[in-house]
Amino acid sequence: MISEKEAIETFLNMIPNWFDYGSEVTTNFVTCGETTTYIKAYRPTPELESIRDFASAELKGLIETTSSFSNSTAKRIIQEAVAIQWLTNIEEKIDWKKLIEFNDEMHGRTYENDSIAINLLFNLEDGTPASFDVTDSSFHKLIDPLGKDQSVFFVVNGKVEFIGYEYVRVDDIGESYRYKFYPEFLHSYQQYKLTKDWHWSFHRTTRGDLIICDSSGLRASYRKGNWYLYDPSHLKNMLTGLLGSFSHKSYRIGCNLYEILFDLSYKRHGALLVFTNNASFTENVSNQESIIGSEHADEIRKGIGESFNDFRFDLENTQRIYKRKFLEMSSMDGAIIFGDNRVYGFGSMIRTADGLSAAGARTTAALSARRHDAFPVKVSSDGEITMFHPSTGKKIEFM
């Protein structure tokens, strides 16, 4: 049977916003039976406080309910219960339990050996005519092949009943030059929802990832067997707070970094981003040919570096981040090193700091960058995002 401590850890691991924030903290706690875990959270929002209260009230009962199951099954049930409550607290007109069961069923199905993908947009206006239940298994043979295209979607009501079958034209949406709290590939859907005054969408990708968004951005995801819950503005503020000691423009940096990280995560390519406004940090790079302004810079760095002469990561208008080029450089072996208004280098190998124990190459480089007074963020090839608290060194992980 899962222990009280494990149940609390299972709950806390779902929410990236809660960690030791150093001196600027609001102390609260989660209880389960006789066990209490204190959380130091950055300015918790009412939504986060509500799900914390739900965990304190329900975890003990969930342990008893799952006592005859394996620990892994118990953890999955706890996560699912918390995810359903989180989403219901935000929007009670949608049958989230039915949708999660629908997603679970899709895990076991393929169409011509490909995973099932689907996009659902919710029209919650009362009285809108609807017909069949999209989740009904008798319709799977027809529904499964119709949702794979990234531009095609089903319009459904809160009971997941069919309203329409439509597609969104990327050309009709256009680029966005403001920071966004969702991965880039969902931009056309987010913009389309605004034109219809719809708020919610449900996306299952061909990789088997589940992403649930409202009009503010990413709200929940299910990846690699785990649920993650997001309060977009709070998570942005968390990044802003972490970056505070590295830039007086940390608000804009945090907002822009949010989107970049989720794009890299869903791209499924490992990356190491190192933020610093201290040009001397580049002295900690072993391959000086990777530093754009170095006398040793190779020809390709010199050439590509010229296209970033007016780079700005500290503006609300994101046009001068050159995001697609930035993402490609981030995906190279080594680190991309950048600051408020400069890309210092890419494909850079960080010298290992003294006293570090053996770890993976990217993790060692990230820890070394932190030791050298920079702000590193590591994205694994599986999509996990890891950063380190500047003061405490505590690892912060989310997807």
**pLDDT by residue, tens only, the chain of 399 residues:** 899 999 999 999 898 877 644 444 456 788 999 998 887 666 778 999 999 999 999 999 999 999 999 999 999 999 999 999 999 999 999 999 999 999 999 988 888 888 899 999 999 998 899 999 999 999 988 898 988 788 899 999 999 999 999 998 767 676 676 778 888 888 889 989 988 999 999 999 988 899 999 999 999 999 888 999 999 888 888 888 888 778 888 888 888 888 888 888 887 778 999 999 999 999 999 999 999 988 888 888 888 888 888 999 988 888 888 888 888 888 888 999 999 999 999 999 999 988 777 667 888 999 999 999 999 999 988 888 888 877 777 777 776
Q: Is 22 helix (H, G, I), strand (E, B) or coil?
A: coil
Query: Contact at 8 Å (CB) between 156 and 134?
Result: yes
Tokens of 209: 């990832």
Instruction: Determine the pLDDT at residue 277.
Output: 93
Q: Is 37 exposed, middle or buried, given 0-12, 13-18 or 19+ CB atoms closer than 10 A? A: middle
Instruction: Determine the pLDDT at residue 27.
Output: 63
Element (H, E) at 391: none
Instruction: Determine the pLDDT at residue 10.
Output: 94
- Give domain limits for the chain: 4-90, 96-230, 233-398
Chain centroid to CA 220: how far? 9
DSSP annotation string for 187-243: HHHHHHHHHHT---EEEE-TTS-EEEEETTEEEEEEETTEEEE--HHHHHHHHHHHH
Beta-carbon contacts of 224 under 8 Å, excluding residues fewer than 6 positions away, are: 382, 383, 399
Instruction: Determine the pLDDT at residue 66.
Output: 95
Residue-level length of the chain: 399
Instruction: Determine the pLDDT at residue 358.
Output: 61
CATH topology of domain 96-230: YojJ-like (1 (3.40.1700)
Instruction: Determine the pLDDT at residue 360.
Output: 77
Query: Contact at 8 Å (CB) between 392 and 374?
Result: no
Instruction: Determine the pLDDT at residue 40.
Output: 66
User: 233-398: which CATH number, 3.40.50.300, 3.40.1700.10, 3.60.20.10, 3.40.50.620?
Assistant: 3.40.1700.10
Instruction: Determine the pLDDT at residue 77.
Output: 96
Q: What is the dihedral of CA 149, 186, 217, 199, to 10 degrees?
A: -50
Tell me whether domains 96-230 and 233-398 share a fold.
yes
Calpha distance 274→365 (Å, rounded):
10
Q: What is the dihedral of CA 8, 13, 18, 21, to 10 degrees?
A: 100
Query: Contact at 8 Å (CB) between 289 and 347?
Result: no
**What pTM, to 2 d.p., does this model score?**
0.88
Query: Contact at 8 Å (CB) between 78 and 22?
Result: no
> Pick from 249, 251, 246, 305: which is nearest to 276 by CA?
246
Secondary structure tally for the chain: helices H, strands E:
12, 17
Calpha distance 104→168 (Å, rounded):
26
Handedness of CA 286, 292, 293, 299 (dihedral sign): positive
Q: Is 171 exposed, middle or buried, given 0-12, 13-18 or 19+ CB atoms closer than 10 A? A: exposed
DSSP annotation string for 121-165: EE---TT----SBTT-GGGHHHHGGGS-STTEEEEE-TT-BEEEE
b/e per residue 101-123 (b: at least 16 CB within 10 A): ebbeebeeeebeeebbbbbbbbb
Tokens of 124: 């919650």
